């Protein structure tokens, strides 16, 4: 089936993300050259705590996405594979390991400390161990137990995570001669909370028809939430974004001119094939909800700083019980008036992909949402079959048209 | 020494014993890995049974790139759901974590997730794990209407320690440079311990005598991996002239290497033993695991280390890079063999194993 290409609009604020990313990396490099510690963190590490300690966070996952999107990831992947890392391992991890093994000649400055909290996957532990073995840099591995029920955010599970945060502060103070200032943390938390509040408000506006903010926007706009949480720059970005989205709603202007299908996207975006989102939009389908976009936003309570941070890193999307995750899907399918669901079965993210078939089946049975599930890799372009995936998308759109 | 046919048969088809348990009214708890303390289930009057991938294909409920072992284990648990009274899954690696999620949507039986901290060398983790074991004990008491008192735990700890001592004594017959016990026999005995009632197992194994055992190969190897239930892999090594003197498998030494201290506080003793035991590849710090492999290599005087890495098994695939790097400093050769289904890959695996043994032995 062929449909005419539609004009789809990316927000002006989204277009500024590239510059924001470059400014951020240049700030980290400046800080490093001035002797400030740089931490390599997994993306659900509480960066607020690091900013309060004057440690600069860099996320190799973000670097992997960036390398993939800009088309220069394969050299790093091949270097890691040449050194023995299997190509079945997470492509983000292979990218940063390849970067390290090839001499770190790029925008990520070498780390002074490696920090991970095992919330989104167990691979984090193995990946950070591997970086530690190659670099000899100090390593902090934090445990964030799987949240089986909401009570875990107030019982011994919470207590365990809070105490590990205290250990991290102590380690940073001892190793870098820093002094932790609780008042500074409170200020950082207020900024982080503000950014999350603004982003949540923006995401809610996607409930409008036509949807004012699409997948290409949300995929880029999350960047400040990942490594800039707690900064003025992040708050300014989300203020500007919200203003622009509200403007679109006032003008009844959507991502695409003739919105036919409103879709849910489950997974990490495919950075090397970002145009796939546009392929959906050309067929009148717009992404209006993704669990990924919500993953880093969390309302923080500055009156309970460490407890609040602990709850945030415990509650990230993949670290809560499957029943809670399914309930969230059902609620959002209703709120965002979703017509169909797209599940990206990501070879690199086994922890995310493992339950997708079961989840999709349950959603289909409970609320009769048709779904498409396809396999590829988020960052490794060698594990991607464009023609096959586009055929599947075409067939899915036909199903949506008939339902 | 011939391994009794009962143990041989059990290893070929362990689910057969589940029917025996059902017919005699024994309640069985299926569990997934060696981080789950069998002692607590035994003290509740329940029979622990280690779930496996034997005779199952990967489940159609998981993607093709998920660890085929975890997926086939899930398949077996669902397929034999009616033979179990409950399940316990340990959160060690991603596939096992998600196996719990899927099982939760597919079984009506009581199901428990034991959250194992990944940063084992941390006092806080020990305290947390102890609370998890208390939660596990409460789960068993509430779901099976039993009271687990200290005496019951003392008895089960003592019983399991006896099993572990027996297994370790067999294992140590190969220490230094001795060639006593063929790996295929040793593995069968270890596996039987995970399925049989411990008291029955202890009596049977005490009667085994390895004095006149014959071994096939003579190139001493250490096998590294996770859980291996496929006897064909072991057989390939033996038939190719290898002698598996030691291992750090979840279905090998890691299962029985450390005992539980018989102290006044059984829950503390269990948490200490199970968290700080010889580490699984999913755990941190990695240095502990490397130390353990180094120790095994020296103690059992091995000439090479063979890693059987299940395809998509992330922990083993990351570790293998560092194990190779560490051992190469001591001139110990290593080889990593990635596999998915040994039955369909025998030729490829055999030719690689033969080449490795030839290079090590030569």
What are the average pLDDT values for consecutive 10-residue runs of chain B, which has 362 residues? 86 94 97 97 98 95 96 97 98 97 98 97 97 98 97 98 97 83 90 97 91 79 93 92 94 96 96 96 94 95 96 96 96 95 92 96 76
**Nearest CB neighbour to A160, from listed B63, B124, B321:** B124
Provide, as residue numbers in chain A, all residues whose Cβ is less than 8 Å from the Cβ of B335.
Answer: none
Neighbours of A364 (CB within 10 A): 13
Structure tokens that stand for A98 in this block: 């390849």
Q: Smallest CA–CA separation between B22 and chain A, in Å?
A: 30
Q: Is the dihedral of CA A273, A274, A278, A280 positive or negative?
A: positive
Q: Which residues of A touch B91 (CB under 8 A)?
A: 145-146
Same domain (yes/no): B157, B135: no
Find the helix or strand (DSSP H, E) in which B154 lies: helix B150-171
Residues B59 and B184 in one domain: no
Q: Is B318 on the interface with A (CB under 8 A)?
A: yes
Q: Where are the alpha helices (DSSP H) in A1-122?
A: 17-33, 47-52, 60-69, 74-82, 91-101
User: Residue B156: what pLDDT?
Assistant: 98
User: Do B121 and B198 belong together in one domain?
Assistant: no
Which one-letter DSSP state was computed for residue B119?
B
Residues B41 and B86 grouped into a single domain: yes
What is the reported pLDDT for A6? 60
| Averaged pLDDT score across all residues of chain A | 96
Measured between CB atoms, does B284 come within 8 Å of chain A? yes
Contact B63 A84 (CB under 8 A): no
Give B240's contacts (C-beta < 8 A, 6+ positions apart).
B217, B350, B353, B354, B357
Residue A7 pLDDT: 65
Choose the mutation target among B61, B78, B314, B320 for the interface with A, i.e. most A CBs under 10 Å.
B314
> Which domain-ending residue is among B85, B116, B146?
B146
Tell me the two tokens of residue B361.
Answer: 């032995």
For A226, B253, B274, B302, the CA distances from B331, given in Å and listed in that order, are 44, 24, 33, 11
Which of B205, B175, B208, B212 minimizes the C-alpha distance to B190? Answer: B205
Residue ending a domain, choose from B107, B123, B146: B146
Q: Shortest CA distance to A323 belongs to which of A290, A359, A280, A275?
A: A359
Please state, in angstroms and rounded to a whole number, the distance separating the CA atoms of residues B91 and A101: 31
Q: How far from B161 is each of A59, A246, B260, CA to CA, in Å?
A: 45, 67, 7
Q: Is residue B66 domain-shared with residue B29, that is, in the same domain?
A: yes
* φ, ψ dihedrals at A148, nearest 5°: -85, -30
Q: What pLDDT, on a 0 to 100 scale, did the predictor assign at position B174?
A: 87
Q: Are residues B204 and B90 in the same domain?
A: no
B315/A156 Cβ within 8 A:
no
Are B212 and B84 members of one domain? no
> pLDDT value at position A4?
54
Task: Spell out which residues of chain B touch residue A83, defining contact as CB-CB under 8 Å.
Answer: 321
* Residue A5 CA, distance from chain mean position: 29
Judged by a CB distance cut-off of 8 A, whether residue B121 touches chain A is no
**The pLDDT value given to residue B175:** 86
Q: How far is A280 from chain B (nearest CA, A)?
A: 24
The answer to whether residues B88 and B228 belong to one domain is: no
Beta pairing partners, A102? none
CATH at residue B126: 3.40.50.11890
Provide the number of structural domains found in chain B.
2
* Interval A247-292: pLDDT, tens: 999 999 999 989 999 999 999 999 999 999 999 999 999 999 999 9
| Co-location of B131 and B226 in the same domain | no
B126 and B194, same domain (yes or no)? no
- Give the CA angle between residues A358, A360, A364 to the nearest 5°: 120
Looking at the structure, tell me whether residues B13 and B100 fall in a common domain.
yes
Mean pLDDT of A13-19: 96
The whole-angstrom separation of Cα B121 and Cα B155 is 28
Is residue A210 a contact partner of residue A255, using CB atoms and an 8 Å limit?
Answer: yes
Give Cβ neighbours of residue A22 (< 8 Å, ≥ 6 apart).
Answer: none
The Cα–Cα gap between A248 and A92 comes to 35
Minimum CA–CA partner of A347 in chain B: B65
Residue of A122, A266, A380 for testing the chain B interface, max B β-carbons within 10 Å: A122
- At A38, is the secondary structure helix, strand, or coil? strand
What is each CA distance from A140 to A94, A128, A132, A336, A368, in whole angstroms?
Answer: 20, 9, 10, 39, 45
Asked if the model's pLDDT at residue A3 lies above 60, the reply is no
Q: Is A99 exposed, middle or buried (0-12, 13-18, 19+ CB in 10 A)?
A: buried
- The whole-number pLDDT of residue A202 equals 98
Nearest chain B residue to A80 by CA distance is B321
CA dist A355 and A301 (Å) reads: 32
Q: Using an 8 Å Cβ cutoff, are B282 and A143 in contact?
A: no
Place of tokens 């909370």: A193
Q: What is the pLDDT of residues B127-182, one digit of tens each?
A: 999 999 999 999 999 999 999 999 999 999 999 999 999 999 999 988 887 777 88
Measured distance CA(B103)–CA(A126) in Å, rounded: 25
Whichever domain contains B183, its CATH number is 3.40.50.11900
Q: How far apart are CA B188 and CA B141, in angstroms?
A: 32
- pLDDT band, very low/low/confident/very high, at A8 (cuts 50, 70, 90): low
How do residues A151-210 score in pLDDT, each as one tens digit? 999 999 999 999 999 999 999 999 999 999 999 999 999 999 999 999 999 999 999 999
Residues B141 and B167 grouped into a single domain: no
In which domain, by residue range, is B216 found? 152-361
HSE-up of residue A124 (Cα within 13 Å, Cβ side)? 26
**What pLDDT sits at residue A1?**
45
Output the pLDDT for position B183.
Answer: 86
Q: Which residues of chain A does B63 touch, with a Cβ-Cβ cutoff of 8 Å?
A: 345, 347, 350, 353-354, 356-357, 375
Q: Is residue B33 less than 8 Å (CB to CB) from chain A?
A: no
Residue at which a domain ends, from B146, B166, B186: B146
Q: Report residue B89: phi and psi, to 5°.
A: -115, 135
3-state helix, strand, coil in chain B (%, to 5): 55, 15, 35
Asked if A142's CB is within 8 angstroms of B63's CB, the reply is no
Q: Are B318 and A127 in contact (CB under 8 A)?
A: yes
Strand partners, A286: A262
B240, B354 contact by CB (below 8 A): yes
- For B80-149, where are the alpha helices, taking DSSP H only? 94-106, 123-144
């Amino acid at each position: 089936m062929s449909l005419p290409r539609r004009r789809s609009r990316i927000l002006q604020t989204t277009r500024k993300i590239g510059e924001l990313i470059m400014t951020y990396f240049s700030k980290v490099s400046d800080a490093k050259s001035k002797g400030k510690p740089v931490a390599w963190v997994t993306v659900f590490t509480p960066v607020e705590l690091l900013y309060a300690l004057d440690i600069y966070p860099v996320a190799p996952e973000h670097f992997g996405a960036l390398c993939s999107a800009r088309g220069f990831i394969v050299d790093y992947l091949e270097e890691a594979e040449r050194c023995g890392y299997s190509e079945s391992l997470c492509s983000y991890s292979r990218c940063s390991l390849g970067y390290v093994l090839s001499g770190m000649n790029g925008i990520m400055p070498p780390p002074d400390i490696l920090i991970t909290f095992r919330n989104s996957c167990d691979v984090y532990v193995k990946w950070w161990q591997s970086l530690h073995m190659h670099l000899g840099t100090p390593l902090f591995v934090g445990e964030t137990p799987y949240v089986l029920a909401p009570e875990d955010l107030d019982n011994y599970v919470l207590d365990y995570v809070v105490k590990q945060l205290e250990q991290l502060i102590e380690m940073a103070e001892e190793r870098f001669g820093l002094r932790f200032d609780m008042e500074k943390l409170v200020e950082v938390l207020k900024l982080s909370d503000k950014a999350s509040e603004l982003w949540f408000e923006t995401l809610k506006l996607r409930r409008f028809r036509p949807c004012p903010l699409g997948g290409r926007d949300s995929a880029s706009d999350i960047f400040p939430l990942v490594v800039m949480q707690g900064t003025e720059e992040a708050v300014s970005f989300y203020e500007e974004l919200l203003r622009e989205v509200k403007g679109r709603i006032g003008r009844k202007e959507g991502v695409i001119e003739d919105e036919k299908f409103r879709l849910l996207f489950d997974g990490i975006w495919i950075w090397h094939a970002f145009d796939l989102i546009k392929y959906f939009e050309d067929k009148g389908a717009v992404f209006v909800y993704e669990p990924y976009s919500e993953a880093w936003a969390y309302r923080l309570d500055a009156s309970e700083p460490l407890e609040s941070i602990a709850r945030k890193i415990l509650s990230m999307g993949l670290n809560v019980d499957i029943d809670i995750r399914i309930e969230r899907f059902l609620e959002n399918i209703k709120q965002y008036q979703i017509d169909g669901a797209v599940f990206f079965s990501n070879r690199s993210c086994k922890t995310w992909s493992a339950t997708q078939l079961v989840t999709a089946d349950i959603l289909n049975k409970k609320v009769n949402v048709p779904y498409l599930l396809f396999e590829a890799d988020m960052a490794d372009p060698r594990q991607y079959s464009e023609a096959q995936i586009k055929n599947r998308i075409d067939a899915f759109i036909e199903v949506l048209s008939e339902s | 020494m011939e391994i009794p046919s009962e143990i041989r048969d059990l290893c070929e088809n362990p689910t057969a014993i589940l029917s025996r348990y059902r017919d005699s009214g024994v309640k069985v708890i299926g569990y997934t890995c060696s981080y789950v303390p069998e002692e607590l289930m035994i003290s509740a009057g329940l029979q622990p049974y280690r779930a496996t991938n034997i005779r199952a294909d990967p489940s159609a409920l998981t993607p093709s790139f998920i660890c085929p072992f975890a997926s086939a284990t899930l398949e077996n648990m669902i397929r034999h759901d009616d033979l179990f009274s409950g399940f316990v899954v340990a959160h060690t690696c991603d596939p096992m974590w998600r196996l719990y999620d899927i099982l939760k949507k597919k079984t009506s039986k009581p199901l428990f997730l034991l959250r194992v901290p990944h940063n084992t060398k941390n006092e806080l983790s020990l305290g947390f794990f102890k609370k998890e074991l208390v939660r596990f004990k409460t789960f068993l008491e509430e779901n099976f209407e039993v009271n687990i008192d200290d005496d019951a735990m003392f008895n089960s700890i003592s019983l399991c320690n006896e099993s572990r001592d027996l297994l370790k004594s067999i294992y140590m017959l190969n220490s230094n440079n001795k060639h006593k016990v063929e790996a295929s026999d040793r593995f069968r005995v270890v596996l039987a311990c995970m399925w049989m009632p411990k008291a029955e197992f202890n009596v049977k194994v005490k009667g085994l005598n390895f004095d006149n055992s014959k071994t096939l190969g003579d190139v001493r190897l250490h096998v590294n991996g996770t859980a291996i239930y496929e006897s064909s892999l072991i057989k390939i090594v033996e038939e190719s002239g290898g002698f598996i003197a030691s291992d750090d498998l979840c279905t090998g030494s890691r299962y029985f290497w450390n005992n539980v201290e018989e102290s006044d506080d059984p829950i503390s003793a269990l948490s200490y033993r199970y968290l700080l035991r010889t580490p699984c590849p999913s755990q941190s710090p990695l240095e502990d695991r490397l130390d353990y492999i180094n120790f095994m290599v020296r103690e059992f005087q091995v000439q090479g280390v063979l890693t059987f890495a299940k395809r998509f098994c992330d922990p083993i695939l990351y570790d293998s890079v560092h194990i190779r790097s560490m051992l190469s400093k001591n001139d110990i050769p290593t080889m990593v063999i990635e596999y998915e289904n040994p039955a369909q890959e025998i030729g490829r695996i055999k030719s690689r194993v033969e080449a490795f043994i030839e290079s090590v032995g030569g």
